[in-house]
Copies of this chain bind each other. A is one copy, B any other.
Amino acid sequence: MELRQLKSLIALVENGYNVSHAAARMNLVQSAVSQQISKLESELGVPLFVRHGKRLIGITEVGQEVLNYAYRTLANVENIREISRERLTQGEGMLRIGATHTQARYILPSVIKQFRAHYPDIELQVHQGTPEQLVEKAIHDDVDFSICTEALATHADLLTIPCYQWNRGVIAQADNPILQHETISLECLTDYPIVTYVYGFTGRSVFTETFTKQGLKAKVVLSAADTDIIKTYVREGLGVGIIASLAYVEEQDSDLVHRDLSALFPWETTRIAYQKDKYIRHHQQYFIDLFLKTVQQQGRWHGLLAASEA
C-alpha cells in the first residue's frame, strides 16, 4: 500500500467520484488515478467504489471505513511534516485562534499580551465567527484551535478542553426600575424589554430555554452578536441588557449597573477545541497553557470539572 493510493482515494471522494476532477486536483492525468485505485482495490481484494458500468457513482461500506483511516493516515504524515517544520521555524510562524467576539474582546487580550512577550515573532491571527463557523474552521484546519461555548459537542473529530465557566448578568441604566428589586427573578425579567445575544451566540439558546422551562417568555426587543452593541442599546434606553458577566468592565461601564444573575441560569462552559489528531506545536501548546492558567487565576471556574474529553 502506498500513500499515493490513499491520496487518490480521498481526492476521488472529495471530487464527487469523478476520476478526471480528482486527477486534475492532484496534478495528474485520469489514467494515473485510475491505476492507483485499481491497485489499491486489488491489493485489498475488495471494491471500494460502487460502479455503474465503468462510471464511479459512490463508495462502498468498506470503502467508507478505509476512507476514514486514509484520512487519519495522511493526517499523521502531515503531523510528521509539522514536527520538523516546528523545529526549523521555532519561534516563527503563526498562531491562528478562532474566537467569538466576546472571547476576542474580553478574555483574549490579557492572554495575547503575555503570549506576545514570550513569542514576539509569531504572527497572531484572531479569526472571528459564529460558533458554528469556528467549529468548521477548527475541523478544516483554517485555525489552529477555536475557543467557544456552543456547537462543540457535535463533532467527533474535535478534542475539547474545558477552560472556564461563566454566567449572565443584567446591565441597566442606573435609574432603571429593575434595579429596585432586591433580587431579580426570571418572572421579574419578563416585565422588562431585554437586549441580549442572537441565537447561536454566547449561550442564547440556553437563555431562551431557561425561560421556556418555567413556562415564561422573555421580551427580547433586540438581539445582537456582540456585547458592545448590546451595551450601546442599553445606553440608548432600549431596555435592560443580559450579557455574559465577564463582559461587564467596571472601569469602562461605570455608567451602567451590573447585577449578577448566576442563580437564574445554568453555568456555561467555554472550551478550546482542536482536531483530535493534530500535532500541537510548542507555541500552540504554550498559548493553550497560558490561556488555562490565566482564566484559572481569574477564578473563572465554577463547580466541578467533569472529565469530558472523548
Residues of A within 8 A of B (CB): 1-3, 6, 44-46, 62, 65-66, 69-70, 72-73, 76-77, 79-81, 83-84, 87-88, 279, 306-308
A307–B87 Cα gap in the complex (Å)? Answer: 36
A281 to chain B, nearest CB (A): 11
A70–B88 Cα gap in the complex (Å)? Answer: 19
A3-B3, A62-B87 known; A81-B307 Cβ under 8 A:
no
User: What are the residues of chain B within 8 A of A77 when measuring CB–CB?
Assistant: 1, 69, 73
A2-B2, A73-B76 known; A66-B44 Cβ under 8 A:
no
**5 nearest A-B residue pairs (beta carbon):** A44-B84, A73-B76, A46-B84, A69-B80, A65-B83
Q: Are B83 and A66 in contact (CB-based, < 8 A)?
A: yes
User: What are the residues of chain B within 8 A of A46 when measuring CB–CB?
Assistant: 84, 87-88
Q: Are B45 and A80 in contact (CB-based, < 8 A)?
A: no
Contact of A3 among B1, B66, B88 (CB under 8 A): B1
Contact of A72 among B3, B76, B87 (CB under 8 A): B76
User: What are the residues of chain B within 8 A of A87 when measuring CB–CB?
Assistant: 46, 62
Between-chain CB contacts (< 8 Å), 20 pairs: A1-B81, A2-B2, A2-B3, A6-B80, A44-B80, A44-B83, A45-B84, A62-B84, A62-B87, A66-B80, A66-B83, A66-B84, A69-B79, A69-B279, A70-B80, A73-B77, A76-B76, A306-B307, A307-B307, A307-B308
A47 to chain B, nearest CB (A): 10
A69-B80, A76-B69, A76-B72 known; A88-B45 Cβ under 8 A:
yes
